[in-house]
């Protein structure tokens, strides 16, 4: 099955990034495809390469980048939400791309299930 995921909250502040990531991992382990993760609202902060958590904590941003690298998951950051919050091409972590809201609609149209994580 083909999954689309929406993440609406920033990393570390809210559990939704963790829940979404663990869902993606489990889906891939079960042989499903995670076609796209769309980051909206404060979720765009998941894409900041300036993120530096303490060493004993999980690195939420790098975890997403790895998901892109190893499983080809398309990581899309909403442009309007990103610009509002200071996320731009120059501070975008590896594997993420900035694009329009149409990519969210496309995820709804082209996947079998769209699962939303947020507050």
Partner 1 sequence: MSDVKKFMFVNRKAPHGTIYALESLEVVLITAAFDQDVSLVFLDDGVYQLKKGQQTKGIATKNFSPAYRALEGYDIEKLFVEKESMEARGLNEQDLLVDVTVLGSAEMGELMDRQDVVLSF
Partner 2 sequence: MLHIINKSPLTNSALDSCLRVAQSGDILLIEDAVYAAASGNAFEGKMREAMGRFKIYVLLPDLEARGLADSIITGVSPVDYGGFVDLTATNKNCQSWL
Active site residues: 78
Select the residue interacting with partner 2 from 50, 83, 105, 116 (CB under 8 A).
Answer: 116
How many Å apart are CA 3 and CA 47, to the nearest integer? Answer: 20
What backbone phi and psi angles, to 5 degrees, belong to 77?
-105, 130
Could you tell me the smallest distance in angstroms from the CB atom of residue 59 to partner 1? 26
Select the residue interacting with partner 2 from 10, 11, 17, 27 (CB under 8 A).
Answer: 27
User: Can residue 22 be called a binding residue for partner 2 (CB under 8 A)?
Assistant: yes
User: Which one of partner 2, partner 1, none interacts with residue 19, CB within 5 to 8 A by kind?
Assistant: partner 2
Select the residue interacting with partner 1 from 2, 23, 66, 114 (CB under 8 A).
Answer: 114
The residue (of 93 and 104) whose beta carbon lies closer to partner 1 is 104
Q: In this structure, are residues 36 and 111 in contact, taking their beta carbons and an 8 Å threshold?
A: yes
| Helix axis angle, 16-29 to 60-71, nearest 10° | 20
User: Can residue 99 be called a binding residue for partner 1 (CB under 8 A)?
Assistant: no
Q: Collapsing DSSP states into helix, strand and coil, what is residue 38?
A: strand
Q: Which helix (H) or strand (E) holds 77?
A: strand 74-78
């Amino acid at each position: 099955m083909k999954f689309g995921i929406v993440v609406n909250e920033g990393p570390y502040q809210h559990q939704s990034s963790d829940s979404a990531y663990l869902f993606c991992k489990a889906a891939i382990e079960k042989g499903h495809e995670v076609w796209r993760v769309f980051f909206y609202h404060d979720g765009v902060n998941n894409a900041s390469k300036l993120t530096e958590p303490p060493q004993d904590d999980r690195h939420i941003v790098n975890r997403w980048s790895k998901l892109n690298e190893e499983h080809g998951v398309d990581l899309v950051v909403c442009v309007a939400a990103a610009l509002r919050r200071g996320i731009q091409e120059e501070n975008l972590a590896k594997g993420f791309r900035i694009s329009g809201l149409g990519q969210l609609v496309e995820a709804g149209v082209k996947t079998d299930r769209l699962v939303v994580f947020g507050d």
